[in-house]
Structure 1
């Protein structure tokens, strides 16, 4: 997904408290920055964005593995340390099944002590007792929950899990193992292998294009931050304070929901609150410099609010669970700088970044090679000793 500059400037926060605007903060971006040559700016990328069969094959294999498709293998009858096993299980404490401790048709990964499909881990020892048992067996053994488990009734408690071993499975982890029947049964919206692979090819090409555009943006933003197309000697203090106020208000609203304040939380975590605010202000000064440079480019290129702004701001307030733009603007208003102005600037600087991406000159270079590190005899001996002690 394409990076959005305004999300960087928001620092990942979710909402702010409404603050009535008083004296409006005024400045002219072109007075604060002396722009250099930004049209046709040169950037260098070292990733490979070209379609290759090797790259596509790796993408296909990873995509198939992420699907988590497993099929029974009747030739496998004994659970091994690296088996994928389908089970039903019931957890009981003092002979009584407890809530959330039972499940059916679960595919578990013995080696990783995790769900084979969801990749989520189990508590220590949950799957180990199945090793060596046969398909069709019922197996029961004790497992102890960790002291810090999120359920007070189970934290630190020893319970009994009873497993029914249904079958041992093989993973479908490459395109060679796919069949039309498997695709139709296991992969929604597709009925044949060819149809699925064709869709993956389109996705792979789209990913390459998206990666190229994203990396262009990153390289341009880095170039701006390094002062290659303009420098801002000093951010106006009132503008910088407005950005600081916005972030503090964002954070305070979140901490208020937790029954505390930003200062109380920082202090309890061992941080000096004043230093925390000073660091925040310093970081915001750098991001605001980038904002000012892009605003100056937007002014120079006569980039204005157009019909695309409505969709832009709608996407934001919808994602942030607001009912409309006015609610968003209200919550993002701070003294001297109202929310509408903030998001309109975000839109214009976003389009200025798009302009730079569209007009940049890209050169590509091979990524640096990682040289093999020679291991001395002493290091090899020490490594062997470490492995033996671990065993």
Structure 2
């Protein structure tokens, strides 16, 4: 099932951007460039001139996911959650390090007999075969774990390792050092409920007993099923409504206003790191003009879908209700660290598109989404096999 970029596409992108900037971003709204302070004519359009609505009330959709609670499904969820946690404990049945062992070690890196900064650690769980932290994906420097297989628990092992020429620390780049390992124990992964004990749960999963932990996972699983169902209903209904409707085009001035809003926020974020958007993109090997065109294309797609929902809101006579909108905007303001609502709006304001207008419009679009979902006819079909 295709997931569309719907009404909250830009809100989400911008909120993430603003969280990265923190509270300082809202304060910097007062020092925005003159570009955003002009008296440009606000973007105006009649959505009915661009949108031809198809059926949007009572649309029929069939879901093929798994949404009903079963013990089998719970067992799979529990096992996956436990395995994904990458918890390892001592395996007392093994005393020798093998090529594919997970082991717990302390290590010290030294050069000319002197330990160097950042080269020592204790109680580290490492994957010998993967040359990485157990359960991780980022690797150590080449050869870091190569001399451990064949040694025993309790043994101290030392051997040379050479840092790559392009290593980030210039003092160590290309240098050969000695890493000395103390092998504490061979470990095993906790992969299922059967591997759990109260002590393991208490130390690694935040519960006092195995039963308490499984009870919490059961509730999580039920919530996941409900969330999956709600999300899939919304996606299916919106896909159907959007496919039923037509948008002749998106007003160019609306697209440009959203592009300006996006780029303004991105520029604000870059300033926090003493750079510009263009310089940042250059450093990432991206062409600025090409990047802007991609942003414009993505926003045009998103706006196509927003216009359909905006037309539905208009046809149904939906309005911004004070109580609902207050909760909606308060959550956004709090999540971005803005000092108050006005400062929050100002950050999102550009030449001809006001931040407050933008978020009020998004609120109406969300109401339209919920209206369509509430009026849909949903059928559960046979779940697709993985």
The TM-score with structure 1 as length reference comes to: 0.83
Alignment deviations for residues 279-299 of structure 1 (CA, whole Å, 9 cap, x no partner): 433332221121111112222
Q: 1:253 aligns with which of 268, 276, 298?
A: 268
Q: Secondary structure at the match of 2:13?
A: coil
Q: Given the alignment of the two structures, is residue 331 of structure 1 paired with residue 347 of structure 2, yes or no?
A: yes
SS in 2 for 1:43: strand
For the Cα contact (< 8 Å) 2:5–2:302, is it kept in 1? no
In 1, Cα distance between the equivalents of 2:209 and 2:367? Answer: 42
Distance in 2 (CA, whole Å) between partners of 1:80 and 1:286 is: 53
CA contact (8 A) 1:10 1:247 kept: no
1:303-382 superposed matches below 5 A = 303-306=318-321, 307-366=323-382
- 2:353 and 2:213 mapped to 1: Cα distance? 51
Q: Tell me if 1:300 matches 2:301.
A: no
1:383 is aligned to none
Name the counterpart of 2:295: 280
Counterpart CA distance in 1 for 2:181 and 2:282 is 48
Matches within 5 A, 1:117-196: 120-188=138-206, 190-196=207-213
Q: Distance in 2 between matches of 1:6 and 1:156?
A: 51
Q: Note closer, same or farther for the CA distance 1:273–1:67 as it changes in structure 2 (3 Å cut).
A: closer
User: Where do residues 87-98 of structure 1 align in structure 2 (5 Å cutoff)?
Assistant: 87-98=105-116
* SS of alignment partner, residue 50 of structure 1: coil
2:24 maps to what in 1? none
C-alpha separation in 1, matches of 2:325 and 2:5: 14
Task: Measure, in 1, the Cα distance between the counterparts of 2:199 and 2:188.
Answer: 16
Question: Separation in 1 of the partners of 2:295 and 2:201?
Answer: 51
Alpha-carbon distance between aligned partners in 2 of 1:187 and 1:201, rounded to the nearest angstrom: 14
Give the gaps of 5 or more residues in structure 2.
Answer: 19-28
Q: Does 1:222 align with 2:239?
A: yes
Which residue in 2 is equivalent to 1:376?
none
Counterparts of 1:14-53 in structure 2, within 5 Å, are: 14-15=17-18, 17=32, 19-20=36-37, 22=39, 23-53=41-71
Cα shift at 1:9: 2.6
Residue 218 of structure 1 and its aligned partner are, at CA, apart by 2.6
> Aligned partners of 1:181, 1:64: CA distance in 2, in Å?
15
Aligned to 2:332, what secondary structure does the other structure show? helix
TM-score, normalised by the number of residues in structure 2: 0.84
Q: Is the 8 A contact 1:49 1:209 kept in 2?
A: yes
Q: Secondary structure at the match of 1:352?
A: helix
Q: Work out whether residues 21 and 333 of structure 1, in 8 Å CA contact, stay in contact via their aligned partners in 2.
A: no
| Residue matched to 2:253 | 238
CA RMSD of aligned residues (A): 2.8
Contact kept in structure 1, 2:7 and 2:302, CA below 8 Å: no
CA distance in structure 1 between the aligned counterparts of 2:81 and 2:213, rounded to whole angstroms: 11
CA distance in 2 between partners of 1:246 and 1:333 (Å): 7
